[in-house]
Amino acid sequence: MTQLTGDSVAELFAGAVTLAKNGVKVAPRGMATREVFDVHMLLTQPRARLLSAPPSRILNPAFAVAETVWHLSGSDADWIFNYNGRLRQYADDGVLRGAYGPRMRNWAGKVDQLRRVVEILTEDADSRRALIQLYDPALDAAGHKDVPCTLGFGFRLRAGHLHMTTSMRGQDAWVGMPYDLFFYTVLHELVAGWLGAELGNFHHHVGSLHIYEEHLDQAEQLTSLTASEVMPDLRTPWEGFDELLRHVYELDATGHPGWDAMTTTMRSYQLWKIGLRGTAWGQAEQVDGPLGPALTSWYQELNRRAGSSSARTTAGAR
């Protein structure tokens, strides 16, 4: 097993990309890939969760936030496509069958696994049974397009600190990993808050860490990274949590500074999409913490792509 340790997601990302691009060549589903088996990552500051690695890797922070809200609220609704339209290619009849939310919050229509984690560790602080299962053979052997990459989560409360472990069958280091770690560490922070615990270490186990060969040229441009800034506090009471998520999804103020930054990030992006670019940019500049600069970087990237597209169109017309 290979071990990577970092104080921030930026450090883990740099290490994971370097590791994956030097991996063994394989081609699952005919897609050329480099792969490394059995990687363990340790993140010591889970709130340093937002990657910023321009110019080679620029995230859409509005999607990172929206996907997190989507998972936490237990949803598989199609509104997530408003933040990442590419997900539609993995949907069956318009639904992402591997969506984490329903499995986490309403397993088999019966169990809110997130609630049970809090209940178990409240009743027995030393328990090893505080688990959330995501992969379901009864569903995932059916042949639908979207199969969860994440197998599940484990939580251990020790000496007043909550430690979290994620287990994945596979992870794309370049595209998926930065978004995955954003969601996982928000979940970690929330559960710690509900238990009145300090935030401990985040452990991340990946069976197949990989990078697709189409991204290798971009990965080669990743020469140096600045450590991810620690994000504002997102802890909030369990009672009223689902209502808070509803406000964020509806792009309304919550009264919680950290979650209001998340709401404004989503709202700004929706304004951008309908062409209100100046208003969207102005809202992005008002977002506290690292989300604001990340969003303006994303808008700059979208403008760059639009400019490149226009240049190609003009050249073709000649």
In terms of Cα–Cα distance, which of 254, 276, 252, 271 is closest to 83? 271
160 in a domain, yes or no?
yes
260 in a domain, yes or no?
no
State the DSSP code for 276. -
240 in a domain, yes or no?
no
- The CATH number covering residue 46 comes to 3.30.572.10
Question: Per-residue pLDDT averaged across 271-278, rounded?
Answer: 97
Are β-strands 150-158 and 161-168 bridged in parallel, bridged antiparallel, or unpaired?
Answer: antiparallel
208 in a domain, yes or no?
yes
By the 10 Å C-beta count (0-12 exposed, 13-18 middle, 19+ buried), 233 is classed as middle
Model pLDDT, residue 1: 87
Helix (H, G, I), strand (E, B) or coil at 213: helix
250 in a domain, yes or no?
no
Q: pLDDT tens, 140-183?
A: 998 899 999 999 999 999 999 999 999 999 999 999 999 999 99
Domain of 134, in residue numbers: 2-231
Calpha distance 96→94 (Å, rounded)? 7
314 in a domain, yes or no?
no
Model pLDDT, residue 313: 33
Selecting among 12, 16, 91, 149, the annotated active-site residue is 149
Q: In the chain, what percentage of residues exceed pLDDT 70?
A: 97
Which tokens is 81 given? 């496509």
Residue 48 pLDDT level (bands cut at 50, 70, 90): very high
Helix (H, G, I), strand (E, B) or coil at 263: helix
**Distance between start and end Cα atoms, the chain:** 55
Model pLDDT, residue 224: 72
Model pLDDT, residue 310: 43
Question: Per-residue pLDDT averaged across 256-280, rounded?
Answer: 98
Helix (H, G, I), strand (E, B) or coil at 255: coil
CB-based contact 9:43 (threshold 8 Å): yes
Residue 43 pLDDT level (bands cut at 50, 70, 90): very high
Quick check: is 149 catalytic? yes
Please state the domain count of the chain: 1
104 or 225, which is more confident: 104
- Is it the case that residue 221 has pLDDT exceeding 70? yes
Element (H, E) at 270: helix 257-273
313 in a domain, yes or no?
no
300 in a domain, yes or no?
no
Model pLDDT, residue 308: 62
- Is it the case that residue 312 has pLDDT exceeding 50? no
Which tokens is 186 given? 């928000």
Taking each helix axis as running N to C, give the angle between helix 61-72 and helix 257-273, from 0 to 180 degrees, rounded to the nearest 10.
Answer: 120
